[in-house]
């Protein structure tokens, strides 16, 4: 390129590459300096202040950029504080850093309950570490790939419900009403910051306690009972709940359900059972012993009957082989307990024949009232009911369970 060409180049004219001064003249930089020299001092000061004011703060610039992308800046600050790290990885980058395939990473994330995000940069170092740990358990042969996915799913489902409860009930209560001039989210930020480490420690403590109890039960059982075990299974169901949903306000209905679930959970735990799940108007629990389950069932009826705010309750229980999987229970025994609940009278407990036999074998109830000895101390009484067909299970003979006077 000749000197003339260079002088006429658009890049040169714009000063993009900082070319030297052209022959016989002054360059743009000199012209700019001369202009500033001609400025009055107060003009220069005003211009400098304006340039400083226009220079954005990096944090504010980042928030503004996220806001432009449709993200809520405060929500992003909350997320970063809870996760302890900024968004640094796309899903592909996270999978590559963890040394796993994108297909396996997607299976893990979906199992944990996380939505597909395409290739947005939304993951942190903790996401990479979690992938690496799960994949490492598979590579070491400690878990099969399908079992690792089940671990991710069970953990995700359990903690998702816990997180929803904590934010919906716990934090809403703490931030109601908001401080003057502040939104609930702004009030929540310092509260979460203070509570997060304490709740995290408490969660780990409870999990270790529950894990110790679960492994202890497995250690006491023989190999055959480790997967398929004989348990007492019980359902407790509020009567007329559908009608209540039409009559009560949403807040009243929520309070009733919470009171029912809380009372049921406390009674089940206090008397040695295990709460499997709650379904709004119904709870499912199990016990290793029929006598323990019988006490829980009757206590539930007695407690709810004594509460004027609660509707009537019915309980159905069965005893037999149960398959346990991902914290839930399955099998014919569970189905039978559910069917007995649906046909139980108001404020009454129905049990199946095997449950009645188990109570008789343990000495908790006489197998037949006619043969019961007055000298023997029984806790419960059993009254046979009419045999009846039960959908999907054939003909069953329910027994009405009561306390023995």
CATH at residue 315: 3.30.70.1230
| Residue 223 confidence class, pLDDT cut points 50, 70, 90 | low
Rounded Cα–Cα distance for residues 349 and 297 (Å) = 7
Do the domain assignments include residue 3? no
Quick one: 254 and 165 in the same domain?
A: no
pTM above 0.75, yes or no: no
Rounded Cα–Cα distance for residues 56 and 13 (Å) = 29
Q: What is the mean pLDDT of the chain?
A: 79
Do the domain assignments include residue 284? yes
Of 187, 215, 243, the position where a domain reaches its end is 215
Quick one: 208 and 240 in the same domain?
A: no
Quick one: 183 and 209 in the same domain?
A: yes
Whether the CB-CB separation of 186 and 193 falls below 8 Å is answered with no
Do the domain assignments include residue 118? yes
Quick one: 261 and 210 in the same domain?
A: no
Whether the CB-CB separation of 291 and 362 falls below 8 Å is answered with yes
Rounded Cα–Cα distance for residues 365 and 381 (Å) = 6
User: If you average pLDDT over residues 233-257, what whole number do you get?
Assistant: 83
User: If you average pLDDT over residues 206-228, what whole number do you get?
Assistant: 74
The pLDDT score that the predictor gives to residue 368 is 66
* Per-residue tokens: 334: 């569970």
Quick one: 175 and 200 in the same domain?
A: yes
Pick the range with the lowest mean pLDDT from 41-55, 102-116, 122-136, 220-234.
41-55
Do the domain assignments include residue 82? yes
pLDDT > 60? residue 327: yes
Of 172, 193, 215, the position where a domain reaches its end is 215
Do the domain assignments include residue 27? no
Quick one: 261 and 168 in the same domain?
A: no
The pLDDT score that the predictor gives to residue 349 is 96
Whole domain around residue 351: which residue ranges?
227-403
Quick one: 371 and 335 in the same domain?
A: yes
Q: How many structural domains compose the chain? A: 2
Of 193, 215, 237, the position where a domain reaches its end is 215
Angle, CA of 121, 124 and 131, to the nearest 5°: 110
Quick one: 211 and 236 in the same domain?
A: no
Q: Among residues 156, 160, 134, 159, which one has the least CA distance to residue 147?
A: 134
Whether the CB-CB separation of 293 and 267 falls below 8 Å is answered with no
Whether the CB-CB separation of 352 and 318 falls below 8 Å is answered with yes
Do the domain assignments include residue 9? no
Quick one: 297 and 325 in the same domain?
A: yes
User: If you average pLDDT over residues 147-154, what whole number do you get?
Assistant: 89
The pLDDT score that the predictor gives to residue 375 is 56
Place of tokens 């919906």: 168
The pLDDT score that the predictor gives to residue 380 is 93
Of 260 and 165, the structure prediction assigns the larger pLDDT to 260
Alpha-carbon distances, residue 320 vs 200, 268, 290, 366, 370 (angstroms): 38, 19, 10, 19, 26
The pLDDT score that the predictor gives to residue 210 is 85
| Residue 192 confidence class, pLDDT cut points 50, 70, 90 | confident
Pick the range with the lowest mean pLDDT from 97-101, 223-227, 286-290.
223-227
Quick one: 210 and 236 in the same domain?
A: no
User: If you average pLDDT over residues 198-220, what whole number do you get?
Assistant: 86
* Per-residue tokens: 189: 């930020």
Residues whose CB is less than 8 angstroms from the CB of residue 223 and which lie 6 or more positions away in sequence, other chains included: none
Of 183 and 46, the structure prediction assigns the larger pLDDT to 183
Whether the CB-CB separation of 315 and 234 falls below 8 Å is answered with yes
The pLDDT score that the predictor gives to residue 62 is 46
pLDDT > 90? residue 291: yes
Query: What does the CA dihedral 342, 351, 262, 192 come to, rounded to 10 degrees?
Result: -90
**Residue 120: Cβ-neighbour burial (10 angstroms; 0-12, 13-18, 19+):** exposed
Whether the CB-CB separation of 249 and 300 falls below 8 Å is answered with no
Quick one: 78 and 197 in the same domain?
A: yes
| Residue 22 confidence class, pLDDT cut points 50, 70, 90 | very low
Do the domain assignments include residue 22? no
Do the domain assignments include residue 399? yes
User: If you average pLDDT over residues 57-79, what whole number do you get?
Assistant: 62
Quick one: 204 and 251 in the same domain?
A: no
């Amino acid at each position: 390129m000749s000197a003339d060409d260079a002088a006429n180049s658009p890049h040169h004219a714009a000063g993009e590459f900082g070319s030297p001064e052209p022959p016989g003249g002054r360059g743009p930089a000199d012209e700019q300096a001369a202009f500033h020299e001609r400025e009055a001092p107060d003009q220069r000061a005003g211009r400098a202040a304006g340039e400083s004011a226009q220079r954005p703060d990096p944090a504010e610039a980042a928030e503004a950029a996220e806001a432009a992308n449709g993200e809520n800046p405060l929500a992003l600050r909350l997320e970063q504080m809870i996760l302890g790290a900024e968004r640094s990885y796309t899903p592909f980058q996270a999978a590559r850093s963890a040394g796993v395939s994108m297909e396996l990473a997607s299976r893990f994330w979906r199992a944990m309950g996380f939505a597909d995000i395409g290739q947005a940069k939304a993951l942190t170092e903790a996401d990479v570490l979690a992938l690496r740990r799960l994949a490492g358990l598979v590579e070491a042969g400690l878990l099969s790939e399908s079992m690792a996915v089940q671990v991710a799913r069970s953990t995700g489902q359990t903690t998702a419900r816990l997180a929803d409860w904590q934010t919906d009930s716990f934090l809403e209560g703490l931030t109601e009403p908001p401080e003057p001039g502040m939104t609930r989210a702004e009030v929540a930020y310092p509260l979460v910051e203070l509570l997060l480490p304490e709740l995290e420690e408490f969660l780990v403590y409870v999990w270790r306690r529950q894990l110790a109890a679960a492994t202890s039960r497995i250690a006491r059982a023989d190999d055959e009972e480790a997967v398929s075990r004989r348990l007492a299974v019980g359902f407790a169901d509020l009567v007329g709940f559908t009608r209540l949903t039409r009559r009560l306000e949403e807040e009243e209905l929520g309070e009733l359900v919470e009171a029912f679930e809380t009372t049921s959970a406390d009674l089940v735990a206090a008397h040695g059972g295990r709460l499997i799940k709650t379904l709004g108007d119904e709870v499912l629990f199990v016990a290793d012993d029929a006598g323990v389950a019988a006490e829980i069932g009757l206590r539930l009826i007695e407690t709810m009957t004594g509460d004027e705010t609660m509707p009537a309750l019915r309980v159905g229980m069965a005893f037999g082989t149960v398959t346990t999987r991902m914290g839930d229970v399955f099998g014919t025994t569970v189905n039978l307990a559910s069917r007995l609940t649906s046909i139980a009278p108001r404020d009454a407990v129905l049990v199946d024949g095997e449950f009645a036999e188990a109570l008789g074998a343990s000495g908790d109830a006489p197998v037949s009232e006619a043969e019961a000895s007055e000298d023997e101390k029984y806790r419960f009484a059993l009254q046979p009911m009419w045999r009846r067909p039960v959908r999907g299970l054939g003909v069953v003979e329910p027994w009405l369970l009561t306390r023995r006077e």
